Amino acid sequence: MDNINKPTPLSQDKSSTDKPSLNEPLEGEPLQGKRLQAPKLEAKQLMVAKWLSLAPLYKLPVTLFRYVFLAMDRVLGLTKIEMDKVINLTVPVSTGTPLLGTIPLNEHSASDSSHTIANRIKLRIYHPSATKPQKTLVYFHGGGGVIGSINTHDHFCRYLAKHGNMNIISVGYRLAPEHKFPIPICDAIEAWNYINTNHQQLNINPQHIGVGGDSAGGYLACIIGLHSLQTSLPVQAKVTPAFQFLIYPMVDLQGLTESYRRFNKQLILTRDLMDYFRLKYLHSLDEVTLPLVSPLQAKDISESPKSYILTLGYDPLRDDGIAYAQRLKAAGINTQHQHFDDCMHGFISITKLSARAKQATHNIAMGLNSFNE
């Protein structure tokens, strides 16, 4: 999986100023000769980010934010691609209830009847062609664990299915603040187990099922493969993923990196917005050091399957993502790390306006397609 569809590196010139501004690359070469950050964010992405900065997203009520996120994708995102077949299902999950909400970590009981009242979450299955691909990606959408849905990522999943030549199963896990940590993780695991248990009915090959997602979805995806982190949960993954596909994943909520501190204006995802998500998702910021919240802090990630991971030059999550890619490689995991130095977090939602965002989205799909080799 080496060197798949990497964008052509731009010039390596460094700014001569002593103190870099937001639009200047940081010093250091953590990417083995590639540039960490382009001198400027690509122009059309910057234009969209400036528009969104007029009414900061982190000041929106959650319900309104969810509508805005869907509207942004429909107006500015990918066009809808027809599939051979799209199937909508609802599946039961046993953890938490609408009335009980979430339950604190280490106080779960899978046998406690108060926690086994059936809830249901949605799955959407995309078969791109009549000759169904051999491999399947179980996909968790992004949105900080607070916003996003199967619908916000419908067009993107269709794009991945067609250009990645893979069946996609999108999971509509429950969201905070109605369902705080660790309920989204439990939903992800239960959906994963359901899909693997029912592979015949779903008409997919059980030997070739991977897991993936963008941002918070990438966080959920990487947890699926880390069985040692799941022992305190009421549910555990029954099967190890064949591969993982992590698009600018959220792997550490401590917020201690240079990129987290630095990127706080004129971007879709800013430090303030990440703080908004953290406060909604967690019961307390004391939880940020838990490996189930910040898997980068796990002592051992060598259980992980072969991996694709994408990081971006203009993203508060950049430095944590790069560190996670380096840890995967150090653990001996077959890892493909792509880095787009001129893109911002969330660019997959603005491809109608930005040709660069559309090209980068296609590169992501080719990264997925590489798992077919």
For 80-110, b/e burial (b = at least 16 CB within 10 A) is ebebeebeebebebbbbbeeeebbebeebee
Decide: pTM greater than 0.75.
yes
- Mean of all residue pLDDT scores within the chain: 88
Burial group, residue 54, by CB count within 10 angstroms (0-12, 13-18, 19+)? exposed
pLDDT digits (tens, 9 = 90+) for 160-197: 999 999 999 999 999 999 999 999 999 999 999 999 99
Cα 322 to the center of its chain, rounded Å: 14
**Is residue 282 within 8 Å of 219, Cβ to Cβ?**
no
Domain ranges of the chain: 43-372
3-state secondary structure the chain: CCCCCCCCCCCCCCCCCCCCCCCCCCCCCCCCCCCCCCCCCCHHHHHHHHHHHCCCHHHCCHHHHHHHHHHHHHHHCCCCCCCCEEEEEEEEECCCECCCECCCCCCCCCCCHHHCCCEEEEEEEEECCCCCCCCEEEEECCCCCCCCCCCCCHHHHHHHHHHCCCEEEEEECCCCCCCCCCHHHHHHHHHHHHHHHCHHHHCCCCCCEEEEEECHHHHHHHHHCCHHHCCCCCCCCCCCCCEEEEECCCCCCCCCCHHHHHCCCCCCCCHHHHHHHHHHHCCCHHHHHCCCCCHHHCCCCCCCCEEEEEEEEECCCHHHHHHHHHHHHHCCCCEEEEEEEEEECCHHHCCCCCHHHHHHHHHHHHHHHHHHC
Q: What is the pLDDT of residue 118?
A: 58
The domain 43-372 belongs to what CATH superfamily?
Alpha/Beta hydrolase fold, catalytic domain (3.40.50.1820)
Angle at 117 between CA 113 and CA 119, to 5 degrees: 150
> Mean pLDDT, 10 residues at a time, over the chain (373 residues)?
35 29 37 85 95 90 96 96 97 67 39 48 96 94 98 98 98 97 97 98 96 98 97 96 98 97 96 98 98 98 98 98 98 98 98 98 98 93
